[in-house]
């Protein structure tokens, strides 16, 4: 199935509206999920819709929530997402961070108890569009324990994305958006739905043996995802758990809270104009980009991409050619549409 984003978005919006969201929130969630597909992160796109709807029905994510400020000063805010949709809560958290950063040059926003924040790259992009650099550390407290610690075979950590955005004059922002584990869990689900193998050196079975079979990951006892780069990725994941879990107050990965998927996020926003005069920062970034890209290429005619460039290219291609949705995901979307009461032709 290939669909243009313009057709997919209203369909997903209609599902969330029928499931109980107000029109604005339904459109917001749909827009961010379809955007994840557009930039090439299908693991965080519309494949999530059935799960989000099930969470909504079960009261594990709540419609119409707003952030609650737990404590704040000029540059810091500790906020509670009150289990609202991450697409709503993430936007509100970033707006608060951008406002504080504009006044004080820096802002630290510690967000706890947010619904799934989706593609974390959305949040540095929002900050970069407002002219701010930003760094984001994310964990999943409770459900979402997926990753084995370095040297271990059992799941102990969450997927722990780290994201950063750098606004660059005259071009799209640099956007780093990586999980500290080798593969986002959603990508294992995509492989399962497509009936294909996962890449090498990404997952292990319950005995710690490497496997390419996505079914092994969901077996009983389950497999686990490996951290990126061995002990280094494990160290970054540990840092994410501490910053996004312990410091925000949402908690680190904890099986006692495994009844719902909840994201915590520590965001640090920086206004470069408080640190460097206007042209100096932009000039140095531009010089550095040129220097990095000037390296000899591994393959003749090959390319060196900046973080975020591949998503930009994929977005241009998928906006033009449409978004491919595998048959399993499509039938799950149609099923959930009917479950929430959309009629057969609408679905």
Question: Does the footprint of ligand NAD cover residue 124 (CB under 6 A)?
Answer: no
Question: Which residues in 160-179 contact ligand NAD (CB under 6 A)?
Answer: 161, 163, 175-179
- Dist. CA 276–CA 237, nearest whole Å: 31
Question: Which residues in 86-115 contact ligand NAD (CB under 6 A)?
Answer: none
Min dist CB 179 to ligand NAD, Å, is 3
- Dist. CA 105–CA 239, nearest whole Å: 24
Q: Which is nearer to ligand NAD, 116 or 155 (CB)?
A: 116
Min dist CB 75 to ligand NAD, Å, is 25
Query: Long-range CB contacts (< 8 A, 24+ apart) of 332-335?
Result: 332/47, 332/49, 332/50, 333/11, 333/12, 333/15, 333/46, 333/49, 333/50, 335/50
Q: Is the peptide bond before 189 cis (omega within 30 degrees of 0)?
A: no
Question: Does the footprint of ligand NAD cover residue 116 (CB under 6 A)?
Answer: yes
Residue 310: both structure tokens together: 């591949």
Pick the piece of the chain touching ligand NAD (CB under 6 A) from 27-35, 59-67, 68-76, 119-127.
119-127
- Dist. CA 55–CA 28, nearest whole Å: 17
Question: Does the footprint of ligand NAD cover residue 49 (CB under 6 A)?
Answer: no
Min dist CB 145 to ligand NAD, Å, is 12
- Dist. CA 238–CA 271, nearest whole Å: 27
Question: Which residues in 246-275 contact ligand NAD (CB under 6 A)?
Answer: 263
Longest dimension (CA), the chain: 59
- Say if residues 101 and 273 touch (Cβ distance below 8 Å): no
Site string for ligand NAD, 25-44 (x = CB under 6 A): ----------------x-xx
Cα angle 178, 179, 180; round to 5 = 115
Using the rule CB under 6 A, which residue among 21, 26, 117, 224 binds ligand NAD? 117
Site string for ligand NAD, 300-329 (x = CB under 6 A): -----x-xx-xx------------------
Chain residues that interact with ligand NAD, rule: CB under 6 A: 41, 43-44, 116-121, 138, 140, 159, 161, 163, 175-179, 184, 187, 263, 305, 307-308, 310-311
């Amino acid at each position: 199935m290939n669909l243009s984003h313009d057709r997919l978005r209203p369909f997903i919006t209609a599902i969330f509206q029928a499931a109980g969201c107000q029109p604005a929130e339904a459109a917001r969630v749909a827009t961010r999920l379809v955007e994840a597909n557009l930039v090439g992160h299908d693991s965080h796109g519309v494949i999530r819709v059935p799960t989000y709807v099930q969470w909504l029905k079960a009261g594990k994510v709540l419609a119409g929530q707003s952030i609650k400020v737990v404590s704040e000063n000029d540059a810091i805010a500790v906020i509670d997402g009150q289990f609202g949709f991450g697409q709503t809560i993430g936007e509100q958290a970033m707006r608060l961070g951008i406002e504080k950063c504009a006044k004080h040059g820096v802002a630290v926003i510690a967000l706890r108890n947010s619904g799934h924040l989706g593609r974390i790259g959305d949040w540095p992009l929002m900050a970069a569009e407002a002219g701010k650099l930003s760094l984001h550390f994310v964990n999943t407290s409770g459900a979402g324990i997926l990753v084995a610690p370095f040297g271990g075979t059992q799941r102990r950590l969450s997927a722990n994305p780290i994201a950063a955005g750098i606004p660059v004059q005259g071009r799209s922002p640099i956007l780093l958006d990586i999980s500290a584990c080798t593969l986002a869990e959603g990508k294992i689900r995509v492989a399962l739905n497509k009936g294909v193998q996962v890449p090498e050196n990404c997952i292990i079975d319950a005995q710690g043996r490497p496997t390419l079979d996505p079914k092994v990951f969901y077996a009983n006892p389950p497999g686990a995802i490996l951290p990126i780069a061995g002990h280094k990725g494990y160290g970054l994941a540990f840092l994410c758990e501490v910053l996004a879990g312990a410091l925000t107050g949402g908690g680190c990965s904890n099986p006692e809270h495994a009844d719902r998927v909840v994201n915590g996020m520590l965001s640090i926003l920086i206004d470069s104009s408080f640190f460097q005069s206007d042209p100096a920062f932009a000039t140095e970034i531009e010089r550095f980009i040129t220097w990095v890209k000037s390296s000899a290429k591994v393959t003749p005619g090959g390319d060196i991409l900046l973080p975020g460039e591949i998503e930009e290219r994929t977005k241009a291609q998928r906006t033009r050619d449409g978004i491919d949705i595998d048959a399993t995901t499509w039938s799950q979307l149609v099923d959930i549409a009917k479950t929430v009461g959309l009629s057969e032709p609408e679905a």
